[in-house]
Structure 1
Amino acid sequence: MRLTKFEHAALLIEQSGRKLFIDPGSFTTAITDAASTAAVVITHEHPDHWTPEQLRRILTASPDAVVFGPEGVVDAVREADPSIAVTRVDPGDTVEAGPFTLTFSGGRHAVIHSSIPVIDNVGVLVNDVLYYPGDSWAVPEGVAVDLLAVPAGAPWLKIAEAMDYVLEVKPKRSFATHEMVLSTAGKGMAGERLRWATEQGGGEYLALQPGDSIDL
């Protein structure tokens, strides 16, 4: 299984010649190579995690790909483009899509501000190896996380929360995601804090940049 990090929150996982995209949104360059896509996971409805244009590009290349998301995503995609079908998933669900086993957890987006409604959000565990919480600090239950994608910059987080999250999960490996709202200097500082937190649990921090790939 191979992971490629894109800008912001978007990830590509490849296995056995099939692709899985996670959160290809408005801060991510246009997806241009989407042939053989088995599935797309959208953790929540905010546009930095999905756009109709990104989904259309993927589904044009792979019409049989299944799009998964929580209820809020189902409603948002239906409103934006009724021709795109989204299969609803809830925390606790496990689904199969090609060579990918997807287990969902969490349920709610982290609080941005008391004036802003809290929306649906699911974290996703891929093949019991990669865990990405979306915009939340949801911890997958009963799982020793091999690789953790850690949100590093957002209106809803501070770096102390991200560090505490890594300390709680204790992944074998971690890397920063959700960081396009940070400057180059900010990304560097966040990465060093996440490195420290990962190493406290005996893990390794991977300073992945957009376009970097690793084998899992």
Structure 2
Amino acid sequence: MRVTKHHHAALTVRESGKTLVIDPGSFTDPLVDLGEVVAIVLTHEHPDHWTPDHLDRLLRNSPDAPIYGPEGVAKAAAGYDITVVAPGETVTVEPFTLRFFGGTHAVIHETIPVIENVGVLVNEQLYYPGDSFAVPEDAEVKLLAAPIGAPWLKVGEAMDFVLAVAPRQAFGTHDMTLSVIGRTMHRARLRWATEKNGGEFLELDPGDATDL
């Protein structure tokens, strides 16, 4: 299984010639050369995690690909056929099994309503929490895509999240709001947290991939 980081929060996962797309949003360049896309996961409704342009482009090439997301995504993307998923549910779209966790977006500010958000565990190996620090309590995570920069994110909380998940490997995502200096600093903090439990931190830039 090959996991590729794209700009900001977008990931693609490739297995047996099939591709899963996660959170292609407004800070993400067009995704090309993906092969057969068999599913799309949108963790929540914010535009940095999905746009109509991305969905239209993906569906032109793979019109039968289901789109999974919480109820908030179904309302925000009303023109698309969204399959609503919730924490605790599992769906299988060969060759991918997706388990969903969490339920709510991290708090940005008390004046801003909290929306729905699901984290996704792919094939019991890759975990991405969306915009949350929801821990997949019953999973042994091999690779964690850990958010490192956001209006809702404090790096100490991101470190605690990595410590709680204790992945074998981790890399930083959700990072387009950071300067180069800020990204380097936050990566260093998450490297410490990953290595604290004997794991390995990977510095993946857009287009970089790792195999599981």
Q: Work out whether residues 96 and 102 of structure 1, in 8 Å CA contact, stay in contact via their aligned partners in 2.
A: yes
Q: 1:35 Cα deviation (Å)?
A: 3.6
User: Which residue of structure 2 aligns with residue 25 of structure 1?
Assistant: 25
Q: Work out whether residues 149 and 176 of structure 2, in 8 Å CA contact, stay in contact via their aligned partners in 1.
A: yes
User: Which residue of structure 2 aligns with residue 118 of structure 1?
Assistant: 114
User: Which residue of structure 2 aligns with residue 94 of structure 1?
Assistant: 90
Tell me how far apart the structure 1 counterparts of residues 41 and 114 of structure 2 sit (CA, whole Å).
Answer: 20
Tell me how far apart the structure 2 counterparts of residues 215 and 47 of structure 1 sit (CA, whole Å).
Answer: 28
Tell me how far apart the structure 2 counterparts of residues 191 and 35 of structure 1 sit (CA, whole Å).
Answer: 31
Give the unaligned 5+ runs of structure 2.
none
Deviations 1:114-149 (A, max 9, x none): 000000000000000000000001001211111001
Deviations 1:42-61 (A, max 9, x none): 00000000001100000000
The aligned length equals: 212
Counterpart code for 1:27: F
Deviations 1:167-211 (A, max 9, x none): 111111000000000001111001000000000000000001100
Q: Work out whether residues 35 and 58 of structure 1, in 8 Å CA contact, stay in contact via their aligned partners in 2.
A: no
Q: 1:112 Cα deviation (Å)?
A: 0.2
Q: 1:98 Cα deviation (Å)?
A: 2.0
Q: 1:30 Cα deviation (Å)?
A: 1.1
* Matched position secondary structure for 1:125: strand
| Cα RMSD, aligned residues only | 0.7
After the TM superposition, list the runs of 4 or more consecutive aligned residues in structure 1 that deviate by more than 6 angstroms. Answer: none
Q: 1:32 Cα deviation (Å)?
A: 2.6
Tell me how far apart the structure 2 counterparts of residues 5 and 179 of structure 1 sit (CA, whole Å).
Answer: 11
Give the unaligned 5+ runs of structure 1.
none
Q: Work out whether residues 17 and 35 of structure 2, in 8 Å CA contact, stay in contact via their aligned partners in 1.
A: no
Q: 1:97 Cα deviation (Å)?
A: 1.0
In percent, how many aligned pairs have the same letter? Answer: 60
Task: With the length of structure 2 as denominator, give the TM-score of the two structures.
Answer: 0.99
